[in-house]
Amino acid sequence: MILICRLLVAMLCLSSTALGQGSSSIQTGYVAVTPVEGFGEGLTVLGRLENQADGVSFHGTVWSGAGVITTSLIVSSDSLSGLDTGIALVNPNDFAATITLTLRRENGQIVATRIITLERRRQISRFISEIFNGQGGLVLTGLLTISSTLPLGISGLLFQGQAFSAVPNTGPVGTPALLLPQFATGGGWSTNVVIANAALITQVVRVDFFSSNGTIIKRLNSVTVPAAGVAVVTAGK
């Protein structure tokens, strides 16, 4: 699970350092938000990621979503321009999921297919160039189709150098949407988890931060989200 860091160290390097220890190590994982009071209707969760590098601040947003069996994302990769797409997959289920990833070029031609197993309550985040390594340098803009035997949380980030932006997928938006597939903190990275409540009643949720191997590293038992309001939780605090 620990790889040589390239464009986004936060998506590839899993540190054993817990949140909030103040180390320069980078902790990544996923966030689960569970309704405690209220039915969860009208709740939406997003993660605001920030990276401070060489005195410059880069920002991006990761949206939560309902678990999906099949979805697709537009992806790009070009090592000469520093362009690559990072994908985070979360299996929140109690059983292992078998996942098929199929990469196609702009003309629909299949570049390669990979089948991986993601164990229960685990997360994995990789660059497209690493998932499909050995594909002649992988210079393309195309479509990545993801199919799973169990519902997954999925998010994508497109990087060019240190700059990054979210990649939407074609899966449905959940109601409620309470699984955030990626956060990063430490080593110049920070993440704010924003919980919006469109309902006209106050709701209370539990927020769990998990490492990529499914271990709970931080739990907030009672986060109050006002009616038609917003609550913000900062990873690492």
pTM: 0.76
Q: Is residue 130 part of a domain?
A: yes
Instruction: Tell me the pLDDT tens digit for each residue of 59-81.
Output: 888 877 667 898 888 888 988 88
Q: Is residue 22 part of a domain?
A: no
Instruction: Tell me the pLDDT tens digit for each residue of 155-202.
Output: 888 888 778 887 766 554 444 557 888 888 888 888 989 888 878 899
Q: Is residue 110 part of a domain?
A: yes
Please tell me the predicted confidence (pLDDT) of residue 169.
67
Task: Count the domains in the chain.
Answer: 1
Q: Is residue 18 part of a domain?
A: no
Q: Tell me the CA end-to-end span of the chain in Å, nearest whole number.
A: 25
Q: Is the pLDDT of residue 234 over 80?
A: yes
CA dihedral over 189, 85, 83, 112, signed as positive or negative: positive
pLDDT greater at residue 221 or residue 56: 221
Q: What whole-number distance in Å separates Cα of residue 66 and Cα of residue 43?
A: 12
Average pLDDT over residues 45-57: 83
**CATH number assigned to the domain comprising residue 157:** 2.60.290.11
Average pLDDT over residues 26-53: 85
Q: Is residue 2 part of a domain?
A: no
Q: Is residue 125 part of a domain?
A: yes
Percentage of the residues of the chain whose pLDDT score is greater than 70 = 82
Q: How buried is residue 85: exposed, middle or buried, by Cβ count under 10 Å (0-12/13-18/19+)? A: buried
| Range of the structural domain that residue 118 is part of | 9-13+27-234
Q: Is residue 144 part of a domain?
A: yes
Q: What whole-number distance in Å separates Cα of residue 28 and Cα of residue 106?
A: 32
pLDDT greater at residue 92 or residue 79: 92
Q: Is residue 104 part of a domain?
A: yes
pLDDT greater at residue 54 or residue 69: 69
99-102: long-range contacts, CB 8 A cutoff, minimum separation 24: 99/146, 99/147, 99/148, 99/149, 99/152, 100/146, 100/147, 100/148, 101/131, 101/144, 101/145, 101/146, 102/144, 102/145, 102/147
